[in-house]
Chain A
């Protein structure tokens, strides 16, 4: 029985039941972008939202509000958005026609001083007006795309203006916080304390765009939607796990930021440790966000932070000097703009963690990330143990361990290395690869991570966002290394040429890195 008018005031819509799964997010909402005149909004967030509109995933009833220092009015900001989209969207997806017209009339702007609570009151009034006129139903997503020092200021002002929750008690309020979440353990805790005063954890979405990448999400599918991997996913079969996030570019225009951050803060503490958690976690009991996030937190808890005197043997750091990439001479890190000429900042970091639990005891997890390396590649490599008995005689020297490679970027897919007999009368065995690529396997280009993550935030799905306990634990894991490195100058810097495999100390830490 489906077609009875609801008698209890509920809003069950029988036309929704059984509809083919729609990509469109049903819940209406307003998205407020703090820092809307900045680079992140222009390059990533605005194109992601408009692309969601074009592909029909954005709710029909929505509003986009820019909140930043630049002096625009609504119309001026609409023009700015259109100009940015003209540049960033590909042919066929430019802002035009009825879809753009409808999108544009839902764009608003508040020229604001982040410290002035009156500007937040203006925002509150605008949101209330949109809830009435555009049907955004009291659902408000606050997206902090500002420089990190402004995060606590915005959070405090939201509270002061009464924007931490809807006064009419309908709708939801959520906050998306860009990385970096703090610059060290202490500052992350300070920021978290400020957030705690205003928003419950269920309303906080700490974004790590790496987690929005399709192959990262596929780690869960690979492990838990197949029967063949999980039985061998443990210390009995796995020799080691290596996670690489290598870039061939340098610091570009980010020298001033990067010289205070370094590779460990910039990549390992967030992206790479998140990958480790997904690879090593126990099977969650469900696909619910907290079921997965509980397992991630548990496995990070099973890693003991290094003692200070252990740092030297569980880590390696490097800094690139001049070199050659793609046939072009490139300068060294210390010659980059806005970088100190005697900088001690690492542009390469590698760490080796041990997970002290039943599954992984004794299996090294080796993580590395760096700039100006030979090749841009992000991947997870699971190396299995060698065969227990070699019966092939003379050719057995060629037998190599099986590898499972989860390719994250630029290639996206999964490759498996195994041994096969070379055709012929003699028993020669050689390594071959079984290679699955998303491009050829499904023939589709993975959607940009930001589209997925913004959509998930509107839907209220926190699975791909990092919970505070995992953020805090990740900081705890890197803190001893950060402290030792910052208190001791590495006189070997620069210790690897641009375009190379990284410093020799990384090979000493772990000799079996896959070649970049």
Chain B
């Protein structure tokens, strides 16, 4: 199939001139094939483009092939059933020549999808969202498969980036020489979240930083052979962590959303390391801001890739 983009390009140029659009930081390309995701995605793209001026190419896998809409720096294409080359050439024709391309992928598959493989080499930044399509771990498994197949590609996962305030809260527990030893004496981890991807990432991050390896179902072993048990509970709104509890032999560290005030994380430490309860705001960045963070981060994030590898090992252990 071929898609005639010449009228769309002419209209984009006309709008650009008419609206005096003279600053553009990137071309944002978004692909989805689920209507609900599409609605959500358009909102996020609009928010992002309002903040970081961009040309937006919406690739809608739910609509028949053709140009659906053209506006000021915004073009929507229907691409249901289109072949990978059509997608690739559409991006090549419609993107701004001097600006980097950011691909936001929310297709039903990633790992083995030839359309993803066709688009990803064009992009300087690839943004994926493991928990966009469901609350189970299948999205994360797709990313693991893609990473294995294309280790040279730089991918950021919004589900991981979303964890930053929780990583910060957990790290905060162990700042200071009086409490750091507790970190190496952890025996149990409990995570409650609305989606699996975020929980696996949080667990994988801890495991990769502390050199824990899965050694049995729901168990890690550290390099001294000490076992650390973990439990994941599925509860609360999708894509959100609700609580993480870390137990050492003498102390208990709990970070959780304040009941009735989901914008606040309450930190409590009891046992030997007890300190007064503290609270701080949960800076819930929102997907648009997380995509922006992925774009700004740019190069490969070693901690993310260590975390993804650890999450992959935990998933593999769970299958056994």
Contacts and interface: CB of A to CB of B under 8 A. Distances in A.
A6 B280 CA distance: 28
Given A60-B267, A98-B261, A15 B223 contact: no
Bin the interface of chain A by size: 35 or more
A307 interface: no
Contacts of B301: 18, 20
A19 B306 CA distance: 12
Interface string A440-461: 1111100000000000000000
Tell me if A's interface is mostly helix, strand, loop or mixed: loop
Nearest to A103: B279
A15 B174 CA distance: 8
A13 B171 contact: yes
A159 to B, nearest CB: 29
Tell me if B's interface is mostly helix, strand, loop or mixed: mixed
A134 B276 contact: yes
A54 interface: yes
Contacts of B183: 13-15
A6 B279 contact: no
A102 B278 contact: yes
A13 B175 contact: yes
B161 interface: yes
A314 to B, nearest CB: 40
Interface stretch (B49-57, B81-89, B131-139): B49-57
Contacts of B210: 2-3, 14-15
A97 B264 contact: yes
Contact of A2 (B51, B211, B276, B283): B211
B149 interface: no
B264 A98 contact: yes
A135 B275 contact: yes
A1 B283 CA distance: 31
A15 B267 CA distance: 16
A22 B52 CA distance: 20
A15 B170 contact: yes
Contacts of A13: 171, 174-175, 180, 183
A481 to B, nearest CB: 41
30 contacts: A2-B210, A3-B209, A3-B211, A3-B223, A5-B180, A5-B181, A6-B177, A10-B177, A11-B177, A11-B180, A13-B174, A15-B167, A15-B174, A16-B175, A18-B302, A18-B303, A19-B164, A20-B293, A22-B164, A54-B281, A61-B278, A99-B263, A99-B279, A102-B279, A135-B276, A442-B51, A443-B50, A443-B51, A443-B53, A444-B51
Interface of A: 1-6, 9-20, 22-24, 26, 53-56, 60-61, 97-99, 101-102, 133-135, 434-436, 440-444
